[in-house]
Structure formats: C-alpha cells, structure tokens
Amino acid sequence: MAQLSITRTFDATPQAVFDAWTDPEKFAVWFGTDGVDVPSDTLSMDVRPGGSWSAVMKLPDDTSISWVGEYLEVDAPNQLVMTITDNPALDARGVITVDLTPVGDGTEMTMTQESPGFDEGQLEQTVIGYNAFFDVMGTLVAESE
C-alpha cells in the first residue's frame, strides 16, 4: 500500500501541536494554507474514538473539496489516528497517524498516511501539499505558546 511519512519539529509543546489537529478554529487556519479557505461553518470535529470529522476546502478557482473521516485513536497530546478521504461516497479511506514527541523546547511530529490507490506522483504531490500545510501550522503553534 502506498504510504507517505513526514517528520517536522515545531517550536511548541506537544499539546499545542495536538490542538492544531483537533481544535476546529486552529485546524481551519493550517489545513489548506493561506491560499485556500476552510470556512469554520463547514468544519465539524467530534474528537473521540469513533467520532467523525468533516471540512470543506474552498479553492481559489471557486471549486471545493469535501473532506471526511473518523477518529480511530485519541491519546492527547501523544498520538492521533484518523481516517481521511476527499471522496465521501467511497469507503476507502487513508489512515493518518500523528505521533508527537517532546524534543528540547519543542515537539517532533511524525505524520504517516496510508494512501490506498495513490501512485508515486500522487504521493509526491501530497507530500508537497502537507509540507505547505505544516509551514502554516509551525507559525500557528509557535504563536499559541
């Protein structure tokens, strides 16, 4: 199965990084970067095992992407496991695992995503997108400390 992995270190506590993943207001800021809008009224997050989440990403060309998933494991502030898809009609979901480890005065975040059906090009584009998202997350969590 296709899988990607990204490790980033943030100048923030594990709780601040965990909150960026689970607080709708913070998630809306980094998910999609500055060029994409995730209106807060389209965001729903029931952060508990078996709970669901959804978000609509409004793109600059006036199209939108609907994201949905569910939370599989919630161990604040150490780990979050959730599913994700931009095709809610399909049962196939990627599984995202976020591991947070304190390092010095910051947090190392390792995010892995199983991406069923992705080819190498799609994985590369997804990594580029996430790295842009995590650049924004880095600023957000540093400001929240």
Q: What is the mean pLDDT of residues 76-83?
A: 98
User: In a 10 Å sphere around its CB, with 0-12 CB exposed, 13-18 middle and 19+ buried, how is residue 8 labelled?
Assistant: middle
Instruction: State how far the Cα of 4 lies from the Cα of 98, in Å rounded to an integer.
Output: 12
Spatial distance between the Cα atoms of 68 and 61, rounded to a whole number of angstroms: 21
pLDDT at 118: 85
pLDDT bucket at 107, cuts 50 / 70 / 90? very high
pLDDT at 113: 96
Give the whole-angstrom CA distance, residue 31 versus residue 23.
Answer: 12
Q: Which pair of tokens denotes residue 25?
A: 């207001």
Of 85, 17, 74, nearest in space to 46 by CA: 74
**For range 106-134, the mean pLDDT:** 92
Residue carrying structure tokens 């399909």: 90
Q: Say yes or no to pLDDT of 2 above 90.
A: no
65-71: average pLDDT? 95
Architecture field, domain 3-144: 2-Layer Sandwich (3.30)
Is it the case that residue 91 has pLDDT exceeding 90? no
Quick: pLDDT tens for 53-64.
Answer: 999 999 999 999
Q: What is the pLDDT of residues 117-127, one digit of tens each?
A: 888 999 999 99
Q: What is the pLDDT of residue 133?
A: 94
What is the average per-residue pLDDT within 110-131? 91
Q: Tell whether the model's pLDDT for residue 38 goes beyond 90.
A: yes
Q: Mean of the per-residue pLDDT values for the chain?
A: 93
Yes or no: say if 110 and 99 are a contact pair by the CB < 8 Å rule: yes
Strands in 94-103's sheet, in edge-to-edge order, are: 3-10, 106-114, 94-103, 79-84, 64-75, 52-58, 44-45
The Cα–Cα gap between 132 and 94 comes to: 19
